[in-house]
Structure 1
Amino acid sequence: MTLTSAQTADGVLLEGQRQRLIKSATSVGERAAAQALVAEETTLARENVQRTLGLLDRPSRSPVRWEGLMGRVYGLGLDEEQRAFLALVLSMVGMGSVSLAAVSDLDERRLAVMLRAIARLAGNDTLAVGTRI
């Protein structure tokens, strides 16, 4: 079994779990949210987040439980920035109510991930998000 580079003190996110999360998407919003979580890496690498989504201890064909995250955002031990990112991601799947002003809590890397996710959510795959020189 080959492990990916996404690793935290809590656990390791396996490539199969990343693929399962993305493949389980049943809507544009779920796909954008899944891709954002995979791209951000640190939040999804936490074992308690994987378990809450149903990526652990469940058959690979079981649906991902987005609603499980909504009720546990504050109980997952995430820092403020990870919570803001997760709240924005959950809003893409229609869960929760978070102001777009939450992007002010994100660092540059997470902001770029979120901007790409918003473009995907809008059906735009040509918009470039990055640093201007």
Structure 2
Amino acid sequence: MMTTTTRAPDADEDAPELGELLVQSASNGRDRAAAQALAEEKTLLAHPTLRATLVVKQNGRMTAAWDRLMGRLYTLGLDDEQRVFLGLVLSMVGIGGVPLSAVERLDERRLLIMQRAILRLAGNDRIAIGTRI
């Protein structure tokens, strides 16, 4: 006798990722650019303490409560580079005061994400980013 096991469809298969939900729920361009940067960076949104602090449900939608992060920036258990990246993202939404010179502490991947975020923030995502010869 042959036994067939069927797997129930995963309820999360078609569900949007948290980063996508935060981008979709952003109320303005600043929030959208910041949420997109976090979505692209991925490691920060995978951090349980950050998610618990940042993500709230308002009117039935997941959204980012940026102001909740500033006071906890050093208690989230992030490494230095994650903290710098998050500080720059918070600066995009008008919270905190991380100087732009902090980008020198970012790796190439996060630096490219930040470049794209700044272009989105400026309302121009058409500028090509890449190595010039």
**TM-score (normalised: structure 1):** 0.82
2:21 touches 2:63 (CA, 8 Å); kept in 1?
A: no
Structure 1 moving runs of 4+ over 4 Å: none
Unpaired runs of 5+ in structure 2? 1-10
State the Cα distance separating 1:48 from its structure 2 match: 1.1
Mapped pair 1:118 → 2:107: no
Q: TM-score, normalised by structure 2?
A: 0.82
- Structure 1 residue 23 displacement after superposition: 1.4
Shift of 1:2: 4.2
Distance in 2, Cα, partners of 1:41 & 1:19: 11
What secondary structure sits across from 1:76 in the alignment?
A: coil
SS in 2 for 1:73: coil
Unmatched 5+ stretches in structure 1: 4-13
The answer on 1:39 being equivalent to 2:40 is yes
- SS of the aligned residue for 1:111 comes to helix
What are the within-5 Å matches in structure 2 for residues 69-80 of structure 1?
69-80=69-80
Deviations 1:58-111 (A, max 9, x none): 464254211111111100110000000000000010000111000011000000
- Cross-structure match for 2:4: none
Q: Distance in 1 between matches of 2:108 and 2:19?
A: 23
Structure-2 separation of matches of 1:35 and 1:63 = 12
Q: Which structure features the higher share of strand residues?
A: 2
Provide the alpha-carbon RMSD of the alignment: 1.8
Tell me how far 1:19 sits from its aligned partner: 2.1
Contact 2:22–2:62 at 8 Å: present in 1 too?
Answer: no
Structure 2 partner of 1:9: none
Does structure 1 residue 54 correspond to structure 2 residue 55?
Answer: yes
Distance 1:104 1:15, change over 3 A: same
The alignment of Structure 1 onto Structure 2 pairs a total of residues equal to: 121
Deviation readout 1:16-72 (Å, 9 max, x if unpaired): 4222211121111111000000001111111111111125xx464254211111111
After superposition, where does 1:1-133 map in structure 2 within 5 Å?
A: 1-2=11-12, 15-55=16-56, 58=57, 60-61=60-61, 63-132=63-132
Write the distance in 2 (CA, Å) between the matches of 1:131 and 1:39.
Answer: 20
